């Protein structure tokens, strides 16, 4: 559970670091808390993390101003941040369910080529065991751009 | 039994009334609801989450009439009026009612009850629904989690499968969960969870957060049931999810308004005439939801098993040769990681082991474990990819034994014949729930036990007396195999009013409680040997001091001899700490056999010898033959 909470807090920090506007005062958790006095601020943060950062932020529908980040990036960063542990393992092996899904957030249909690329560049995309999800996402994105096959086939780059 | 009835009454007392009988009829004018046919009325009541005569929804934004919670007609009329008002706002986000109550809108529209409505655009809803991108629905059951009493029965959630997806992880999941306002501990948490002290909210999040939470964080299996639904059914379900998501919470009652009960009410909306959310008893189990869908011909299209992180590790280790296993143990605890290490199987073993350890210890790997983990991953990245067919999450469903749809029903009635020394008896037993060590483990975690509210009556032919025999309040056992990668103790907790066998006292009773823990050896799912120790306490007017407390030791050997036969040999020793050790030292040796004739019927034979130390002539010999059926 602690890992989940840490992951959620990490997600919140991602959203506040990347969002040009503040997440305060919008999102399901805030609305629920404001109107219903249901949840404490910590729970509200978690509710916001699940509601506004997945559906609302990713899709831009949280009843508040649109976030300034690109939707696809938010989706990929959220995925990387939430799945760092399993991604680190699947990327070392060069395939697996998490690598396939990670490929799809970049629009890479060729998950085999994507898996080979992240495995071959493992230490570049994951330079340390404290690499954040945002760094991982950006590193992988940069490597896709450097890869002739992937840069021409991954549709969301 | 009296206590049980008292608890049930207390439960019903604390729960909000489910019936509006006695309430004044609020609607002063005839409602359009009165003109609907029974099928249409039923659909409207499902949309409003009515059970008997009252809605279970508790958020005031859910109702457009002040009387909507108990008057569906008033709610229908108010809904139409709200849809007609171009300036109306509703829900947590103050959207127009036409945009909030999408399934009500569709339903009333189809009935021809919505005329001359203002044209309202709903960009938020359209964008949300487009983002879900759903083309089908999967029902997901998370297996039980014995470390948390509120998760003992498992959990259910829904996955919306996206169109053109690569894998399931990026799909959205829908779950209903209690949201405590603050961290309550122990009894407060249990009490509030039982009696509506928490609010339950719909949670919509990416499926990977659930895989992380259940598969990895809590090492629970996820069993996925793909449902056959028409596009229209799926559409109506999603519309209804939106109206719940935008407007309401539900007071959370652990027994019958829990995570699965509310979720199935939401899911039931598009299923016409199939009664998927009926309750078979006063409590609702996650497995009941799965069984109901499995019982409808053609509704479940396919099933998948997503093993827990622990099972993934076990499978990885099982595939290793003894030499490779030794390598894994050595590498994972060594300070020097060899350069250019080439053994892929052993490396995968180290990675799986340290990954599981990270979750088991709640992210408290030591610095050298982190170093080994990192080096293993880097080394692994320089070796060939794993063979896809050997995927760790690929699992044959037929090889699994904890599928909820295969489980016996939770309640049980038994009749038995018994002899206690020279006394012959007949008796009956009623069990409220749920599963005990000698029951058929198919559908449950092997050698687990959670019994509550089990009571029996006996007729002693020798004494010509009917008597209360025993009442089990709770009897919980988790035989957790002790492994090098998961060194956890098993435990058992029992609170019971039961017979005294070690005194010369006919049909006498004691109130007894115990809590033991210790290691379990279990080489496979068919055998478990446990040794547990812990305190016990007993109280009775028949005891010399009125009570005795001390230490108990229990050894047990459980064997699943074949799918229909289970054997158990249990020996328990209790030492009364208030007396001399040699004088008050009690022993009970039991041998038990269960024979399962069907999923829900079984025969049991049980023999026991209860001895008092240094006084074996006062032994009680007990034999019992029992037939029981689950319902």
What domains appear along chain B, each with residue ranges and CATH number? 2-121 (no CATH), 131-306 (no CATH), 309-390 (no CATH), 407-630 (2.40.160.40)
> Residue A61 above 80 pLDDT?
no
Instruction: Check whether residue A98 and residue A63 sit in a common domain.
Output: no
Q: Are B128 and A43 inside 8 Å of each other by CB?
A: no
3-state secondary structure of B406: helix
> Residue B104 above 50 pLDDT?
yes
Q: Are A23 and B383 in contact (CB under 8 A)?
A: no
Q: Are B217 and A4 inside 8 Å of each other by CB?
A: yes
CA dihedral over B128, B134, B139, B142, signed as positive or negative:
negative
Which stretches within B319-366 are classed as H helix?
A: 322-332, 344-360
- DSSP helix, strand, coil percent of chain B (3-state; round to 5): 30, 35, 35
> Residue B295 above 70 pLDDT?
yes
Instruction: Check whether residue A78 and residue A45 sit in a common domain.
Output: no
More confident residue, B627 or B390: B627
- The residues that bridge with B457 in the sheet, in sequence order, are B428, B468
Find, in chain B, the residue whose alpha carbon is nearest to that of A126: B378
Q: End of a domain among A69, A84, A112?
A: A69
| pTM score of the predicted model | 0.86
CB atoms within 10 A of CB B563: 12
Cα distances (Å, whole numbers) of residue A23 to A62, A71, A87, B124? 10, 15, 27, 18
Residues of B in contact with A5 (CB under 8 A): none
**Going by C-beta distance under 8 Å and a sequence separation of 6 or more, which residues neighbour residue A72?**
A105, A107, A156
| B388: its two tokens | 């896809």
Instruction: Check whether residue A45 and residue A106 sit in a common domain.
Output: no
> Residue B370 above 90 pLDDT?
yes
pLDDT tens digit sequence for B151-203 = 789 999 999 999 989 899 999 999 998 877 777 776 777 777 777 788 899 98
- Alpha-carbon span B490 to B482, nearest angstrom: 8
Instruction: Check whether residue A80 and residue A145 sit in a common domain.
Output: yes
Instruction: Check whether residue A77 and residue A130 sit in a common domain.
Output: yes
Q: Are A55 and B131 inside 8 Å of each other by CB?
A: yes
pLDDT tens digit sequence for B196-253 = 788 899 988 899 999 999 999 999 999 999 999 999 999 999 999 999 999 999 999 8
- Best probe of the A interface among B131, B150, B356, by most A CBs < 10 A, is B131
Residues of B in contact with A59 (CB under 8 A): 127-128, 130-131
Confidence of residue B395 (pLDDT cuts 50, 70, 90): low
pLDDT tens digit sequence for B265-293 = 999 999 988 889 999 999 999 999 999 99
Instruction: Check whether residue A95 and residue A81 sit in a common domain.
Output: yes
Across A61-65, B427-431, B440-444, B488-492, least confident range = A61-65
> Residue B148 above 50 pLDDT?
yes
Confidence of residue B14 (pLDDT cuts 50, 70, 90): very low
pLDDT at B440: 95
pLDDT at B340: 87
Residues of A in contact with B213 (CB under 8 A): 4
Across A25-34, B182-191, B512-521, B531-540, least confident range = A25-34
| Among candidates B59, B201, B355 on the partner chain, residue whose Cβ is nearest the Cβ of A85 | B355
pLDDT at B394: 57
Confidence of residue B617 (pLDDT cuts 50, 70, 90): low
Instruction: Check whether residue A7 and residue A43 sit in a common domain.
Output: yes
Across A23-37, A127-141, B390-404, B555-569, least confident range = A23-37
What is the per-residue burial (b if ≥16 Cβ within 10 Å, else e) of B486-497? eeeebbbbbbbb
Q: How many CB pairs under 8 A join A and B?
A: 155
Domain that holds residue A138: 72-153
- The residues that bridge with B536 in the sheet, in sequence order, are B514, B550
Instruction: Check whether residue A6 and residue A29 sit in a common domain.
Output: yes
pLDDT at A64: 33
> Residue B69 above 70 pLDDT?
yes
Q: End of a domain among A69, A84, A111?
A: A69
Q: What is the mean pLDDT of residues B488-509?
A: 91
Instruction: Check whether residue A63 and residue A77 sit in a common domain.
Output: no
Find, in chain A, the residue whose alpha carbon is nearest to that of B372: A129
Q: Are A79 and B386 inside 8 Å of each other by CB?
A: no
Counted domains in chain A: 2
- Alpha-carbon span A63 to B531, nearest angstrom: 57
User: Which residue's structure tokens are 């290691």?
Assistant: B519
Q: Are A97 and B124 inside 8 Å of each other by CB?
A: no
Q: End of a domain among A12, A42, A69?
A: A69
Confidence of residue A24 (pLDDT cuts 50, 70, 90): very low
pLDDT at A157: 75
Q: What is the mean pLDDT of residues B605-610?
A: 94
Instruction: Check whether residue A64 and residue A76 sit in a common domain.
Output: no
Instruction: Check whether residue A47 and residue A116 sit in a common domain.
Output: no
Instruction: Check whether residue A92 and residue A59 sit in a common domain.
Output: no
Confidence of residue A41 (pLDDT cuts 50, 70, 90): very low
């Amino acid at each position: 559970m602690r890992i989940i909470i840490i992951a959620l807090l990490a997600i919140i920090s991602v959203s506040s670091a990347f969002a040009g506007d503040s997440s305060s005062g919008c999102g399901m958790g805030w609305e629920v808390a404001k109107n219903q006095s249901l949840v404490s601020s910590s729970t509200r943060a978690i509710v916001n993390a699940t509601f506004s950062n997945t559906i609302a932020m990713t899709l831009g529908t949280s009843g508040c101003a649109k976030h300034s980040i690109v939707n696809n990036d938010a989706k990929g960063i959220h995925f990387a941040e939430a799945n760092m542990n399993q991604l680190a393992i699947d990327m070392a092996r060069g395939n697996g369910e998490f690598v396939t899904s990670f490929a799809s957030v970049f629009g890479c249909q060729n998950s085999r080529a994507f898996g080979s690329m992240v495995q071959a560049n493992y230490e570049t995309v994951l330079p340390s065991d404290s690499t954040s999800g945002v760094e991982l996402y950006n590193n992988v994105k940069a490597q896709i751009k450097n890869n002739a096959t992937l840069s021409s086939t991954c549709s969301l780059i | 039994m009296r206590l049980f009835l008292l608890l049930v009454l207390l439960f019903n007392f604390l729960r909000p009334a489910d019936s509006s009988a006695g309430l004044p009829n609020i609607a002063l004018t005839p409602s359009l609801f009165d003109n609907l046919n029974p099928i249409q009325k039923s659909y409207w009541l499902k949309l409003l989450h009515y059970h008997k005569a009252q809605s279970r929804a508790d958020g005031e934004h859910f109702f457009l009439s002040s009387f909507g919670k108990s008057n569906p007609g008033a709610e229908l009329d108010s809904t139409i009026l709200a849809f007609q008002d171009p300036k109306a706002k509703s829900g947590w986000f103050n959207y127009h009612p036409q945009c909030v109550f999408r399934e009500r809108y569709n339903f009333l529209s189809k009935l021809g009850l919505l005329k001359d409505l203002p044209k309202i655009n709903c960009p938020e809803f359209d964008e949300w629904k487009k983002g879900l991108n759903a083309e089908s629905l999967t029902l997901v059951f998370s297996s039980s989690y014995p470390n948390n009493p509120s998760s003992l029965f498992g959990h259910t959630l829904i996955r919306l499968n996206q169109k053109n997806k690569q894998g399931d992880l990026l799909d959205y999941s829908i779950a209903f969960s209690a949201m405590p306002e603050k961290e309550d501990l122990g009894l407060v948490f249990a009490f509030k969870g039982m009696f509506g002290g928490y609010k339950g909210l719909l949670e919509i999040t990416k499926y990977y957060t659930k895989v992380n939470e259940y598969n990895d964080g809590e090492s629970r299996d996820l069993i996925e049931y793909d449902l056959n639904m028409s596009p229209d059914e799926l559409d109506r379900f999603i519309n209804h999810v939106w109206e719940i998501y935008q407007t309401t919470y539900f007071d959370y009652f652990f027994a019958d308004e829990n995570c699965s009960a509310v979720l199935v009410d939401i899911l039931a909306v598009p299923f016409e005439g199939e009664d998927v959310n009926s309750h078979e008893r006063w409590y609702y189990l996650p497995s009941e939801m799965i069984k109901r869908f499995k019982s409808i011909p053609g509704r479940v299209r396919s099933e998948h098993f997503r093993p827990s992180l622990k099972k993934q590790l076990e499978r990885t280790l099982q595939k290793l040769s003894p030499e490779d296993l030794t390598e894994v143990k050595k590498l994972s605890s060594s300070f020097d990681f060899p350069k250019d290490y080439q053994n892929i199987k052993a490396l995968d073993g180290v990675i799986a082991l340290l990954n599981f350890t990270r979750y088991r210890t709640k992210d408290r790997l030591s610095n050298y474990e982190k170093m080994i983990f990192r080096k293993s991953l880097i080394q692994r990245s320089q070796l060939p990819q794993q063979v896809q067919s050997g995927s760790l999450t690929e699992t044959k469903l037929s090889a699994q034994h904890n599928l909820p749809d295969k489980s016996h029903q939770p309640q049980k009635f038994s009749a038995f014949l018994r002899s206690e020394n020279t006394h012959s008896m007949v008796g009956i037993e009623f069990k409220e729930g749920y599963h005990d060590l000698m029951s058929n483990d198919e559908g449950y975690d092997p050698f687990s036990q959670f019994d509550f509210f089990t009571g029996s009556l006996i007729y002693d032919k020798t004494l010509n007396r009917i008597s209360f025999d025993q009442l089990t309040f709770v009897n919980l056992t988790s035989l957790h195999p002790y492994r090098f990668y998961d060194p956890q103790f098993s435990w058992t907790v029992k609170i019971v009013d039961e017979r005294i066998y070690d005194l010369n006292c006919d049909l006498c009773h004691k109130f007894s409680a115990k809590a033991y823990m210790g290691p379990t050896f279990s080489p496979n799912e068919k055998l478990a040997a446990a040794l547990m120790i812990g305190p016990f306490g007993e109280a009775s007017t028949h005891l010399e001091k009125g009570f005795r407390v001390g230490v108990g030791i229990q050894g047990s050997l459980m064997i699943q001899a074949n799918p229909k036969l289970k054997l158990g040999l249990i020996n328990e020793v209790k030492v009364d700490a208030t007396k001399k050790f040699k004088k008050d030292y009690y022993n009970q040796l039991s041998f038990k056999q269960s024979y399962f004739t069907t999923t829900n019927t079984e025969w049991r034979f049980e023999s026991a010898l209860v001895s008092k130390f240094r006084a074996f002539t006062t032994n009680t010999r007990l034999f019992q033959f029992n037939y029981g059926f689950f319902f």
